[in-house]
Structure 1
Amino acid sequence: MLELLSDPQAWAALATLTALEIVLGIDNIVFISVLVARLPPEKADTARKLGLALAFVFRIILLLGLTWIMGLTAPVLTILGNELSWRDLILIFGGLFLIAKAVHEIHAEVEAREHHEEEKSATQAAFGIVLAQIVVVDLVFSLDSIITAIGMAQDVEVMIAAVVIAMIVMYISSGPVASFIARHPTTKMLALAFLVLIGVALVADGFAYHIPRGYIYTAMVFAGFVEAFNIIASRNRRRALKDRYEDSAKQK
């Protein structure tokens, strides 16, 4: 352990792996933020914290079971000429679940204006369901994250340190992200579209067709900038209308 502190390669691996874990954790944060947005504020905060705590626990448990994790990469099934391992199957079904959930949430957002009261009463009892969905997606993202870590670092200590640092960053940033998505419905739709893309990427990974995450993140960052301009423009329009109304009221 002490030898790693003086090893430049270990520090380089830690920096690289931490950055990668933070990027991979963005998917986790967005999904949790979208799910808890449907809960009452006091329950939403609890669900968000529990979801992140479970994500951290799952990652550490998976790291400590490296032998078992490596066994998940052995082929167990062949479909249409593709040899699939347990890891591939988990990514495929996890990606399909993510796509289905994101599409369901998009549909709910589109129909929300007509069923607001109905939806409000349903969300009061949805805490357990939301938490169960967070657990499922935490497992999928944790498995993807840890297998990536195994391929990039040789020392378990370095992997655990990278995961701990990444989870601290996720925990700090999750609150502001969740609040922002809750305050701006249009960004929630953008986040759901992002989750559909991530779900497609997970399914593709399961079939050994890797879609570089850089393409997805670049597109979403661009869309995020466009959405930021929309929010600023909308705020300025509301302010201009308010000023115009106040001026007309003074003239009367």
Structure 2
Amino acid sequence: MHDLIALAAAAAPSLGGPAEIWAAIVKDFSNLGTPSAMAAFLQVLAIDIVLAGDNAIVVGALAAGLPPDQRKKVIAIGVLAALVLRVAFALMVTWLLGIVGLILAGGLLLLWVAWRMYRDLKGHGAGESAGSPEIEGDEHSGVAPAKSFAAAAWSVAVADVSMSLDNVLAVAGAARDHPGILIVGLIVAVALMGIAANVIAKYIERYRWIGWVGLAVIVYVALKMIYDGAFQVAPYAAAAV
């Protein structure tokens, strides 16, 4: 039991107070020219951009089958909920990183996001949503539209929770050794979802290479999270035997 408690404490690093957070940001961005920091920063930026656009695409596609007034309500709820959830998960990131197995689970979930993004980039298929006029770029989502307002609201809520958690965990997975970049990445994730998600969705649809680059980064980060998460879980499995 004492071994398990010690492992849990070690698995939950603290970002510290405002002074420590600012010092971490200054340190990481003053060393941004190093390969490690630059790689982490570019990965975080790609993740934030692609997942913000993908979140908007999913919300628009799920609402596409509804009447205009209901569709606009579902889209507004979906974007607002995604914004709030990103803020909430970002504030809990230290605690989330300390949950044994969550990095592993987040990596697996991110692989599912990557698979769905791959289907999006490959094109539109039978039975898939034609997209909502309010969201540009959701015409090839690979998502079937919901049949009713309640079904759409529920589907959007589930998608928002999943994608917001994955966004935060993916940023943490990409920049775990660079807390300053991690913090800035979480701020950018919230800002993009609240301000530019629809614009990003449009450009991902127009310039498909952006989506393919983002997909490659997400697959890499997902595999890295699965690898790191497996090592996080292993000591607990051994201690429980």
Shift of 1:18: 4.6
Q: 2:194 aligns with which of 142, 149, 168?
A: 168
Q: Match of 1:7?
A: 26
Judge conservation of contact 2:90–2:186 (CA < 8 Å) in 1. yes
The answer to whether residue 142 in structure 2 is matched with residue 132 in structure 1 is no
Q: Match of 2:48?
A: 21
Which secondary structure does the structure 2 equivalent of 1:7 belong to? Answer: helix
Q: Match of 1:154?
A: 179
Judge conservation of contact 1:22–1:170 (CA < 8 Å) in 2. no
Judge conservation of contact 2:170–2:221 (CA < 8 Å) in 1. no
Counterpart Cα distance in 2 of 1:64 and 1:209: 20
Q: Match of 1:37?
A: 64
Q: Residue type matched to 2:71 in 1?
A: A
Q: Match of 2:87?
A: 60
User: Against the structure 1 CA distance between its residues 95 and 138, is the aligned structure 2 distance closer, same or farther, given a 3 Å change threshold?
Assistant: farther
Shift of 1:64: 1.4
> Larger Cα Rg: Structure 1 or Structure 2?
1
Shift of 1:70: 1.2
Judge conservation of contact 2:86–2:190 (CA < 8 Å) in 1. no
Q: Match of 2:234?
A: none
Counterpart Cα distance in 2 of 1:87 and 1:18: 18
Which secondary structure does the structure 2 equivalent of 1:85 belong to? Answer: helix
Deviations 1:9-67 (A, max 9, x none): 44868985455412222221221121111111111111111111111122111111123
Counterpart Cα distance in 1 of 2:218 and 2:46: 20
Q: Match of 2:135?
A: none
Which secondary structure does the structure 2 equivalent of 1:43 belong to? Answer: helix
Shift of 1:139: 2.1
Q: 1:69 aligns with which of 92, 96, 100?
A: 96
Judge conservation of contact 2:114–2:218 (CA < 8 Å) in 1. yes
Q: Residue type matched to 1:53 in 2?
A: L
Which secondary structure does the structure 2 equivalent of 1:108 belong to? Answer: coil
Point out the structure with the larger helix share. Answer: 1
Shift of 1:86: 3.1
Shift of 1:7: 3.3
Deviations 1:100-121 (A, max 9, x none): 9xxxx944359xxxxxxxxxxx
Shift of 1:132: 1.3
| Matched length | 173
Shift of 1:128: 1.4
Judge conservation of contact 1:21–1:166 (CA < 8 Å) in 2. yes
Counterpart Cα distance in 1 of 2:157 and 2:111: 17
Q: TM (normalized to structure 1)? A: 0.48
Deviations 1:62-98 (A, max 9, x none): 11112332134638xxxxxxxx933245446777899
Which secondary structure does the structure 1 equivalent of 2:179 belong to? Answer: coil
Identify unmatched segments of 5+ residues in structure 1: 76-83, 111-122, 178-186, 211-252
Which secondary structure does the structure 2 equivalent of 1:39 belong to? Answer: coil
Q: Residue type matched to 1:61 in 2?
A: A
Q: Residue type matched to 1:154 in 2?
A: P
Identify unmatched segments of 5+ residues in structure 2: 1-17, 130-144, 227-241
Give the CA RMSD over aligned residues: 4.9
What is the identity percentage for the equivalent residue pairs of Structure 1 and Structure 2? 20
